[in-house]
Amino acid sequence: MSREFVILTIIGSKNYAFLNDYLLQLSRVQRHWTRLSLLCRLTFSQNLWK
């Protein structure tokens, strides 16, 4: 199930509090993954230069 579909479904059901919650969760996860990938990239580049 795609995010867009979930968001559209929530909008369709007019459950905006839930939508807000969902988007918050999504951005938190997004941030977490960006941080993780940055960390991986850093470690990787440091290993390259050793």
Q: For residue 28, what is the enclosing H or E element?
A: helix 16-49
Q: How far apart are CA 13 and CA 18, in angstroms?
A: 10
Backbone angles phi, psi at 14, to 5 degrees: 55, 30
pLDDT of residue 49: 63
How does pLDDT run across 3-17, given as a tens digit for each residue? 777 777 767 777 777
pLDDT at 41 over 60: yes
Q: For residue 5, what is the enclosing H or E element?
A: helix 3-12
Q: How far apart are CA 42 and CA 34, in angstroms?
A: 12
Average pLDDT over residues 28-33: 82
